[in-house]
């Protein structure tokens, strides 16, 4: 039979390996130069094989870059890349099993490079530290049904965590579970990845720390049965085991991302994250825009662990083509009942714009089971029924420098409120809040609505001039200082 050909192999000008970090830093220009050099290099030829034999890999030292142009097998091509080197994927490959990245290498896609899965599995599976996947083009068998299809799966464990894994650029689509899943990784960077038409989540991080999800775009997360939730980006932990085995995700930043069309659940989420920062994102047409919520105990399934030290800052959360009730920003601590002594959520919500959220029992911003949370510089535009909802058990909640405009009642002629304390055990200070009513709004517009006597509300220097009633109160202690109208 004819000789089997190994992939094209090219060296740098100095004939020395190109490290993973150097490849990342030099960018597209260097990659193009490597490809040109590679195209001029001669192909390594394996020994002639008999019928049914696997082509023999040349054991001579190889260069740092391997191109798949003439490779008969992508797994063998990857196996020939030295540590710190790079596999360049230039053509379409049908996959029946994961491409296993088990060493510190870079897999870069260019041109027609594409991995198309012929089943439900993790198409690219990373199990090594200091590995990178760049500009991946990956497709599954469809995102409108539930399954195990993942685009890129970064698999660390409690006993063998990974460090310094980078996923940058590319497009992942039509997957029956996630675009990117990463577990037990520190120093993870997921940047500039586009994820579309997936069943469960665009980017899913579990027990990750000191990591960032930046400038990613997630569109159309479908949540088919039997999934009961779905996410654009979620930062969480495995709540079926103890925190000693699956710790909280900690010090994770989600920034500059766009999430559109998680219509049945949440755009951006953290479950019991520790110092998770969600900033400068755009979230559109999700049932809940941003959710900062607790996770369950592995034994009794109660909500035991609250989100701690979070920051939700300078995001735009809006609805354009979705009208079902849902919070724009939801903050919830552990526990369930009014006054529950479980761990409370702590952190800051600042500089956000929320448009069109609310309705039913929701609001533009909804909080309960929190302590010392500050909500500041919020612009609430066209929210349904209420702007800020302090549902229950918010201890020392501060709502300040809020602008509420164009509140819309969910029922014709219904009352709307800039701030509402619905249930009990709230101690809230509302200051420097301004209300502008919608032109021709027929129903009552209230500044603060307090529906239970079990609340203490302090009002300081708010502007209620465009309300019909500054304070609607059912027996709570409401104290006002320099509070207009």
Q: What is the pLDDT of residues 35-92, one digit of tens each?
A: 333 333 333 333 333 333 434 434 344 479 999 999 999 999 999 999 999 999 999 9
Strands (E), 189-338: 189-191, 194-198, 201-206, 209-214, 217-221, 231-236, 250-255, 258-260, 266-271, 277-279, 282-284, 288-293, 295-296, 303-305, 310-313, 316-318, 329-332
Q: For residue 441, what pLDDT is reported?
A: 76
Phi, psi angles (nearest 5°) of residue 420: -135, 135
- 75, 102 contact by CB (below 8 A): no
| pLDDT per residue as tens digits for the range 152-163 | 999 999 999 999
| pLDDT per residue as tens digits for the range 176-231 | 999 999 999 999 999 999 999 999 999 999 999 999 999 999 999 999 999 999 99
Phi, psi angles (nearest 5°) of residue 187: 65, 30
Q: CATH number of the domain at 74-481, out of 2.160.20.10, 3.40.50.300, 3.90.420.10, 3.40.710.10?
A: 2.160.20.10
CA distances from 173 to 100, 148, 223, 291, 334 (A): 19, 14, 15, 24, 35
Q: For residue 21, what pLDDT is reported?
A: 36
pTM of the model: 0.87
The answer to which of 165-174, 434-443, 465-474 has the lowest mean pLDDT is 434-443
Residues 6+ apart with CB under 8 A from 261: 219, 220, 221, 284, 285, 286
CA distance 181 to 133: 13
Q: For residue 307, what pLDDT is reported?
A: 98
Number of H helices, E strands in the chain: 2, 47
Report domain extents, the chain.
Answer: 1-73, 74-481
| pLDDT per residue as tens digits for the range 260-301 | 999 999 999 999 999 999 999 999 999 999 999 999 988 888
User: Minimal CA–CA distance to 132: which of 177, 162, 159, 95?
Assistant: 162
Computed over every residue of the chain, the mean pLDDT equals 89
| pLDDT per residue as tens digits for the range 238-252 | 999 999 999 999 999
Strands (E), 21-113: 43-45, 65-67, 86-89, 92-95, 99-101, 106-109
């Amino acid at each position: 039979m004819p000789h089997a050909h190994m992939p094209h192999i090219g060296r740098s000008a100095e004939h020395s390996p190109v490290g993973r970090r150097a490849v990342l830093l030099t960018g597209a220009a260097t990659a193009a130069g490597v490809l040109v050099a590679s195209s001029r290099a001669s192909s390594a030829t394996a020994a002639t094989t008999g019928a049914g034999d696997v082509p023999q890999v040349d054991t001579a030292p190889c260069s740092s870059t391997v191109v798949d142009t003439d490779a008969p097998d992508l797994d063998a091509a990857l196996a020939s890349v030295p540590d710190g080197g790079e596999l360049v994927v230039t053509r379409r490959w049908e996959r029946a099993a994961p491409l296993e990245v088990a060493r510190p290498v870079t897999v870069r896609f260019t041109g027609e490079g594409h991995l198309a899965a012929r089943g439900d599995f993790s198409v690219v599976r990373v199990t090594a530290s200091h590995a990178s996947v760049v500009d991946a083009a990956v497709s599954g068998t469809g995102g409108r049904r539930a399954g195990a299809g993942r685009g890129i799966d970064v698999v660390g464990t409690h006993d063998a965590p990974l460090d310094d894994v980078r996923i940058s650029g590319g497009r992942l689509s039509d997957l029956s579970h996630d675009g990117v899943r990463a577990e037990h990784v520190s120093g993870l960077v997921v940047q500039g990845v586009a994820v579309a038409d997936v069943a469960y989540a665009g980017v899913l991080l579990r027990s990750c720390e000191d990591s960032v999800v930046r400038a990613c775009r997630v569109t159309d997360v479908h949540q088919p049965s039997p999934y009961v939730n779905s996410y654009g980006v979620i930062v969480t932990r495995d709540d079926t085991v103890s925190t000693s085995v699956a710790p909280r995700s900690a010090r994770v930043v989600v920034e500059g991302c766009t999430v559109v069309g998680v219509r049945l659940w949440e755009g951006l989420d953290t479950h019991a994250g520790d110092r998770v920062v969600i900033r400068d994102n755009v979230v559109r047409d999700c049932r809940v825009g941003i959710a900062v919520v607790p996770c369950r105990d592995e034994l009794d399934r109660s909500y035991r662990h609250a989100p701690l030290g979070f920051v939700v800052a300078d995001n735009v959360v809006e609805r354009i083509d979705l009208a079902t009730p849902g919070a724009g920003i939801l903050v919830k601590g552990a526990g369930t009942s009014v006054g529950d002594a479980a761990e409370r959520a702590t952190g800051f919500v600042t500089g956000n714009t929320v448009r069109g959220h609310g309705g039913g029992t929701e609001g533009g911003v909804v909080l309960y089971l929190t302590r010392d949370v500050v909500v500041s510089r919020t612009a609430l535009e066209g929210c349904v029924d209420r702007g800020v909802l302090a549902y229950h058990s918010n201890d020392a909640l501060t709502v300040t420098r809020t602008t509420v405009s164009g509140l819309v009642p969910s029922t014709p002629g219904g009352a709307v409120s800039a701030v509402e304390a619905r249930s009990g055990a709230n101690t809230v200070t509302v200051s420097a809040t301004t209300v502008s009513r919608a032109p021709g709004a027929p129903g009552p517009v209230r500044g603060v609505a307090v529906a239970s006597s079990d609340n203490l509300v302090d009002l300081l220097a708010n502007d209620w001039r465009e309300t019909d009633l500054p304070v609607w109160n059912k027996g709570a202690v409401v104290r006002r200082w320099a509070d207009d109208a």
